[in-house]
Amino acid sequence: MPVRQPFLSLFIFFTITWSNLGLTFGQTPQIQVATNTGEFIVQTVINKIEGNDILKKKTLTYKRSYVRENLNDNGQVTDRAKEEVVVIELNGNERMIEKNGKPVNKGKSSRPKIELLKVLEAVLKLNEFNVARIETLDNRPHFVINFKPKPRQKTGDSDVEEIIIRSEGVMYVDIEKFYIKQLSARMIRPYSRGGIFGWNIFSLTMANTEIVQEEFDGIVVMKSILITDRYSLFGGNTFEKHTYSYKDYQKKF
């Protein structure tokens, strides 16, 4: 258990600090920590995700709904392009039960465009962190950690990394259980690829993400993922919003 001692030390430090400052829930104290504390916290979160995901697959069933909406230039919804409901069974097997408001017996579901573990691994590799303060959400203290690309960061090895080195954001990490309660990220510069004679086949100018997690019977589960993106492909422009909502969690033994 390589992270046990640092984990205990960090938790005890912040517990004592919180107590000594005489703070109550709801206050947001500014804190000073070592420069690598943010990296340690994110690495601890990553270490815990794998075990949590195994437990979730073995014991939980739930539903995931997905809605894709087209937006106008002002970010307002113009129409709903796609809607589906999927049942996730034990071992992570998926079964679509509804598409565009109609029941279905089978069909390929739209899996989330974000896998939290892969995203966090790339964030840890490419970003620098600032543990800004402690803030209370749902009556529990959380680290508030700002992240942004490291200076002079080189181009990433994948589309995920390409987006991350062009984004900045904030995450709220539960102090006691070390999971991400909320994460928000936004692109601060565009990403293009496939250039021909000075013209880009694909250009992404927005990829903003909001992730919310919660606990169900001691297991960390996803509550919602919201992605807003704007891109051009072969000259055609797209501005859209993807919403993934998770509900009806049930524990199976």
Give the pLDDT confidence of 169-200 residue by residue, as tens digits.
999 999 999 999 999 999 999 998 876 655 67
Instruction: Say how many domains are in the chain.
Output: 1
In a domain, 114, yes or no: yes
Q: What pLDDT, on the 0 to 100 scale, is given for residue 28?
A: 58
pTM, rounded to two decimals: 0.84
In a domain, 60, yes or no: yes
Of residues 93 and 33, the one with the higher pLDDT is 93
In a domain, 17, yes or no: no
Task: Report the run of H or E that residue 122 belongs to, with start and end.
Answer: helix 116-126
Measured between alpha carbons, how far is 225 from 210 in angstroms, rounded to an integer? 6
In a domain, 9, yes or no: no
In a domain, 100, yes or no: yes
Q: What pLDDT, on the 0 to 100 scale, is given for residue 252?
A: 87
In a domain, 18, yes or no: no
Measured between alpha carbons, how far is 149 from 123 in angstroms, rounded to an integer? 8
| Over residues 68-82, mean pLDDT | 96
Q: At residue 115, does pLDDT exceed 50? A: yes
The whole domain housing 75 covers 23-251
Tokens of 165: 């080195």
In a domain, 38, yes or no: yes
Measured between alpha carbons, how far is 6 from 12 in angstroms, rounded to an integer? 10
Residue 52: phi, psi to the nearest 5?
A: -65, -40
In a domain, 16, yes or no: no
